[in-house]
């Protein structure tokens, strides 16, 4: 029976020296409400959209919700922009000078472009634009990329929205947008012939030269206005469209980012949508010409990002798999070396959305709301050889249990009917330790806390709290629910056998209600944050009735009916560390 209780014990970890991607905890644990959008407030899952490293100790990132700051090891929330602004891109020339761009939602259904000067302490919005007709005011549209120049000028790109027909009109067209900051004001300097489409990203090689990926034209447009993928080249203030190899010019394609090594060489990703899947083509600019450099065995998979280490043809790419093929994993992280793509299965299972590659040694990335680092550090999950005085050693996993977590561990447990909290009851609640104590960012507060992971829980040391609250269980369940997009599951239907809470739409019902109350209640489990439903366990691939709580995940095992083991806790912390690359 003890085997059923413990589930699959996390495998011991030996010291690792190879560089691999490791993930920090999910940072964006709140939802952002933006709008109004056609009179409605829109809830969106927060997401990190851009990273900027100044050096190995200083950096910034933007999410829909605001700015995050890097201190050389940890990223933490720095500034929240509120409900009307969505940040998408950042570029800095120093720790105190740069621009952040995105969109700002006002009283109508369409957003306005948003640009804010960054001074190292906050954002100073510059909302008005000198339009192409010479008038000044806000401009309907959005910005997705920005490049800061050394002479205090900047370029930002994406698309503007213009009404079609007589006013008032609810129809609009999307056209490419190029804004140039001349040192005092943003000016619309979009080429007049670009009447339809959008720019997707910008890669500058000098103050006066750069490239952008684009979709130009409109569906069914005549002649040179037909919708098409495009790479446009800026030089000496003039934009021209580069010739491309034959590519599908029909709806169902996109040209992702263009990334230039220098003014003579660069790369771009083109994705062709084929049914439920996409096929990626790799384009290479060399000798003033773009050629199709797609590897011969390129799988049927879409690309989402390509980034180069500055001055090289090496970097990283992210590929998205095709669900209809049953490919596993559905996403791939790839090493990129002069056009060659090699899967990188080491470390975290997360696949980056964005990369910040400062050098071979300093590399960061983001996936959703989690930060990833490329590191050869020794992990806190490595087995230890030396045991501190007054610490317990667990040979099963090779880890110790000492201050400040030992007392909490030994005074809490699942109610198995023992006269007092026994070792098996503590083990049933927490599992074996699978790490040593180590510093980690707390997503809810932005504090760096000493934590220790057990198979089923993460303990946190809060030294500023009064006893008995100096040790608390981390909100692993809540963070995982956010990561998996399960925060909008339907509320628990009304049922007289269920306990309800004002703080959550989800009830506490049999078979979990009694287990919750007799094994720690709110301090141990937190509130229910999903309804009970059948889920496949990541631990043993079996399906169980499951309910998520802020700190834990409960599973119902009917094969144990009538015993204390009907309700078991999932190996949530072990699964978390495995996803993040801390466990194999």
Note the pLDDT tens digit of each residue in 350-382.
999 999 999 999 999 999 999 999 999 999 999
Q: Is residue 107 included in any domain, yes or no?
A: no
Span 531-567, pLDDT tens digits: 999 998 877 888 999 999 999 999 999 888 888 888 8
What is the chain's Cα-based Rg? 26
Q: Which H helix or E strand runs over 246?
A: none
| Structure confidence at residue 563 (pLDDT) | 83
| Structure confidence at residue 6 (pLDDT) | 35
Q: Is the pLDDT of residue 252 over 90?
A: no
- What is the total residue count of the chain? 584
Q: Which residue has the higher pLDDT, 417 or 169?
A: 417
Q: Is residue 517 included in any domain, yes or no?
A: yes
Total domain count for the chain?
1
Cα atoms in the 13 Å half-sphere on the side-chain side of 479: 26
Q: Is residue 454 included in any domain, yes or no?
A: yes
Q: Is residue 238 included in any domain, yes or no?
A: no
Q: Is residue 387 included in any domain, yes or no?
A: no
Lowest pLDDT segment from 28-37, 55-64, 339-348, 473-482: 28-37
> Rounded CA gap, 67 and 81, in Å?
8
* Mean of pLDDT over the chain: 88
pTM of the predicted structure, to 2 decimals: 0.90
Residue that has been written with the tokens 């080491």 in this structure? 346
Q: Is residue 401 included in any domain, yes or no?
A: yes
Of 479, 478, 485, 509, the residue nearest 495 (C-alpha): 509
Are the beta carbons of 374 and 20 closer than 8 angstroms?
yes
Q: Counting Cβ atoms within 10 Å, is residue 159 exposed (0-12), middle (13-18) or buried (19+)?
A: buried
For residue 475, the enclosing domain spans 392-580
Q: What value does the mean pLDDT take over residues 128-144?
A: 95
Q: Which residue has the higher pLDDT, 9 or 34?
A: 34
Q: Is residue 485 included in any domain, yes or no?
A: yes
The 10 Å Cβ neighbour count of residue 464 is: 7
Sorting pLDDT into bands at 50, 70 and 90, what band is 10?
A: very low
Q: Is residue 93 included in any domain, yes or no?
A: no
Q: What value does the mean pLDDT take over residues 162-187?
A: 83
> Rounded CA gap, 181 and 153, in Å?
5
The 10 Å Cβ neighbour count of residue 361 is: 10
Residue 168, SS3 per DSSP: coil
Q: What value does the mean pLDDT take over residues 99-122?
A: 90
Span 284-326, pLDDT tens digits: 999 889 999 988 766 556 677 999 999 999 999 998 777 655 5
């Amino acid at each position: 029976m003890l085997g059923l209780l413990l589930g699959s014990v996390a495998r011991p970890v030996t010291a690792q020296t190879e560089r691999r991607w490791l993930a920090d905890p999910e940072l964006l644990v709140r939802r952002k409400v933006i709008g109004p959008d056609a009179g409605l407030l829109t809830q969106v899952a927060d997401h990190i959209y851009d990273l900027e490293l100044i050096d190995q100790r200083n950096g910034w990132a933007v999410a829909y919700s605001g700015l995050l700051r890097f201190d050389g090891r940890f990223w933490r929330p720095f500034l929240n922009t509120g409900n009307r602004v969505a940040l998408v891109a950042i570029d800095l020339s120093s720790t105190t000078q740069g621009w952040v761009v995105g969109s700002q939602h006002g009283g109508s259904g369409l957003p306005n472009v948003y640009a804010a000067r960054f001074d190292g302490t906050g954002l100073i919005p510059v909302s008005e634009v000198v339009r192409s007709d010479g008038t000044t005011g806000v401009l309907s549209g959005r910005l997705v990329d920005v490049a800061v120049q050394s002479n205090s000028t900047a370029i930002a790109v994406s698309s503007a929205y213009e009404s079609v027909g007589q006013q008032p009109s609810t129809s609009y067209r999307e056209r490419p947008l190029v804004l140039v900051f001349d040192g005092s004001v943003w000016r619309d300097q979009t080429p007049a012939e670009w009447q339809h489409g959008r720019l997707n990203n910008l890669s500058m090689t000098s103050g006066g030269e750069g490239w952008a990926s684009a979709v130009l034209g409109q569906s069914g447009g005549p002649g040179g206005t037909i919708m098409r993928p495009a790479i446009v080249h800026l030089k000496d203030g003039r934009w021209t469209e580069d010739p491309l190899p034959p590519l599908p010019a029909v709806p169902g394609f996109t040209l992702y980012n263009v990334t230039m090594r220098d003014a003579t060489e660069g790369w771009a990703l083109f994705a062709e949508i084929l049914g439920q899947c996409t096929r990626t083509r790799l384009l290479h600019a060399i000798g003033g010409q773009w050629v199709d450099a797609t590897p011969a065995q390129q799988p049927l998979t879409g690309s989402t990002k390509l980034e180069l280490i500055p001055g090289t043809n090496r970097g990283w790419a992210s590929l998205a798999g095709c669900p209809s093929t049953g490919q596993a994993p559905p996403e791939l992280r790839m090493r990129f070396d002069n056009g060659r793509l090699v899967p990188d299965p080491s470390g975290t299972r997360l696949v980056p959305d964005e990369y910040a590659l400062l050098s071979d040694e300093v590399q960061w990335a983001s996936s959703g709301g989690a930060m990833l680092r490329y590191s050869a550090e020794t992990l806190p999950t490595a087995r230890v050889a030396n045991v501190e005085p007054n610490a317990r050693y667990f040979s099963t996993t090779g880890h110790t249990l000492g201050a400040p977590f030992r007392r909490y561990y030994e005074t809490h447990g699942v109610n198995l009917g023992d006269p007092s909290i026994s070792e098996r009851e503590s083990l049933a609640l927490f599992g074996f330790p699978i790490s040593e104590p180590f510093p980690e960012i707390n997503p809810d507060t932005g504090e760096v806390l000493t934590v220790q992971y057990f198979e089923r829980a993460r303990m946190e040391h809060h030294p500023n709290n009064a006893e008995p609250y100096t040790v608390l269980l981390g909100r692993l369940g809540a963070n995982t629910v956010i990561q998996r997009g399960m925060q909008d599951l339907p509320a628990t239907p009304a049922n007289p056998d269920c306990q309800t809470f004002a703080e959550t739409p989800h009830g506490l019902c049999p078979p979990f209600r009694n287990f919750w109350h007799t094994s720690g209640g709110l301090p141990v489990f937190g509130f229910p944050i999903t309804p009970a439903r059948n889920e496949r366990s990541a631990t043993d691939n079996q399906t169980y009735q499951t309910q998520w709580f802020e700190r834990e995940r409960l599973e119902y095992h009917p094969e144990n009916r009538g015993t204390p083991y009907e309700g078991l806790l999932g190996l949530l912390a072990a699964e978390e560390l495995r996803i993040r690359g801390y466990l194999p």
